Structure 1
Amino acid sequence: MVDTTLPLHAHGTADADQAPPGGYQFYLTEEVHPQNGTLLGFWLYLMSDCLIFACLFAAYGVLGREYAGGPSGAELFELPLVALNTSFLLISSITYGFAMLQMQQNRVASTQIWLAITGVFGAAFLTVELYEFAHLIHEGAGPQRSAFLTSFFSLVGTHGLHVTFGIIWLIVLMTQVARHGLITANKRRLMCLSMFWHFLDVVWIGVFTFVYLMGSLP
């Protein structure tokens, strides 16, 4: 019988010096990971990210009409282009959902395909957003032009940075899945990225409504 009263070190081994003659030692071979611990921690991170975006939305709400004699949102925003960009991000959320369904059935190839499609739509979203920023700066409507544009670039740019990091994370996870398959750790990581990606969609819906649609009103 294993003597469970022996003291354990951090690596899960009993102290040989304190073991009685003829005593037993044992090793913890399984991964020591609290069930759902990572997901709980990631939820806490998303809540902190919500506070960041809440501050940026609040700043835009205060400064969104401070044009300093410069152009307003109604003069600058191209709603058809923004609507197309919104569709790219929303479709990427759907394709990621398909990837998660394939992951639950342990289909590595199908999961990788849907993840790649998600990355393509995410990259298309970033491309259009960068084009919009470049066009505004070319027209003299950079972030230094007015408080309105400062708050606009801060909010939309922060969201764009999150999408950029999400795509990098996606590429890293696709590499991990290609090397190790859909092991438990990779499934957990894909679940965390799923929450992050859908969170960005929800934030963008707020940006599209609060910044672009309301900003286009006279």
Structure 2
Amino acid sequence: MDRCEARPSGAFVAMAQQREAVRLGMWLFLASEAMMFGSLMLIAWYYRLQHPAGVGEAVAGLHRWLAAWNTLVLITSGLCMTLALEACRAGRMQPLLRGLNMTVLLGLGFLAGKVLEYTLEYREGVLPGFGLPSPVSEPSARLFMNLYFCSTLLHSLHLLIGVGLVLYLRIALGRGWLCLPANALRLEMTGLYWHLVDGIWVLLFPVLYLVGG
């Protein structure tokens, strides 16, 4: 593996200090993201308790098997990212690049599955604000579909950002624009972000697709 020494930036006197500051900032950012999605999940659960019939009608029209497949795809992408991080720590470039390749491909596969799901919902008229007249009759069911669409679209945007970050690292490491171990921290922070997006979906799936079904 092509190696280079890690040097602290001008604001820090040692790499250990810089690493701790970066990790703290990243964890604070991840905590804020988790609280945002956590609020959406709490709203979904509360809404289920208040309007069980409407939520049941909305959930019955969702493509839960496609979402379940997407969940498996995203969990596998998290495993690939973990293997890439382990390869980085072991100083093995080719397994690292393969792990990043698979992470990107599986992330894109998830997004493709979500586009397919939105397309089906558009044709069925249940996608809020789009498509044919909605067959959903209950106002509470329509409100739940709005919550579903906002939550899943927001998650997909986060995943798209994650795919872009991982793809950049794959290209930069493969072409020698970045070297290790100096830039290992970038890979670690990107891995944390990816696992957050992965974990959020693992919680969103039962909250949106199974609750009230």
* Shorter-chain TM band: 0.7 to 0.9
Name the counterpart of 1:149: 145
Higher normalized contact order (CA 8 Å, seq sep 6+, divided by chain length): 2
The C-alpha deviation readout for 1:160-216, integer Å capped at 9, x for no partner, is 111111001111111221224542442101101111111112111111111112242
Question: What stretches of structure 1 of length at least 5 have no aligned partner?
Answer: 1-10, 13-27
Verify the 8 A CA contact 1:67 1:147 in the aligned structure 2: no
- SS of the equivalent of 1:77 reads coil
Verify the 8 A CA contact 1:108 1:182 in the aligned structure 2: no
Verify the 8 A CA contact 1:102 1:110 in the aligned structure 2: yes
Could you tell me which of 49, 58, 63 is aligned with 1:72? 58
Could you tell me which of 106, 115, 133 is aligned with 2:100? 115
| d(CA) in 2 for partners of 1:189, 1:173 | 8
Task: Say which one has the larger Rg.
Answer: 1
Deviation of 1:68 (Å): 6.9
1:14-93 matched pairs, under 5 angstroms: 34-64=18-48, 65=51, 71-74=57-60, 76-93=61-78
Between Structure 1 and Structure 2, which shows a larger proportion of helix residues? 2
Deviation of 1:121 (Å): 0.7
Aligned-pair identity (%): 24
| d(CA) in 1 for partners of 2:21, 2:180 | 17
Verify the 8 A CA contact 1:108 1:181 in the aligned structure 2: no
TM-score under structure 2 length normalisation: 0.79
Could you tell me which of 101, 104, 119 is aligned with 2:89? 104
Deviation of 1:78 (Å): 2.5
**Pair 1:151–1:67, CA change in 2 (3 A):** farther
Name the counterpart of 1:205: 202
Report whether the alignment pairs 1:194 with 2:179. no
Could you tell me which of 91, 96, 116 is aligned with 1:131? 116
Give the number of aligned pairs: 191
Verify the 8 A CA contact 2:55 2:144 in the aligned structure 1: no
**Pair 1:34–1:182, CA change in 2 (3 A):** same
- SS of the equivalent of 2:162 reads helix
| d(CA) in 2 for partners of 1:66, 1:147 | 12
| d(CA) in 1 for partners of 2:98, 2:164 | 16
Verify the 8 A CA contact 1:88 1:124 in the aligned structure 2: yes
Name the counterpart of 1:177: 173
Name the counterpart of 2:138: none
- SS of the equivalent of 2:128 reads coil
| d(CA) in 1 for partners of 2:47, 2:115 | 23
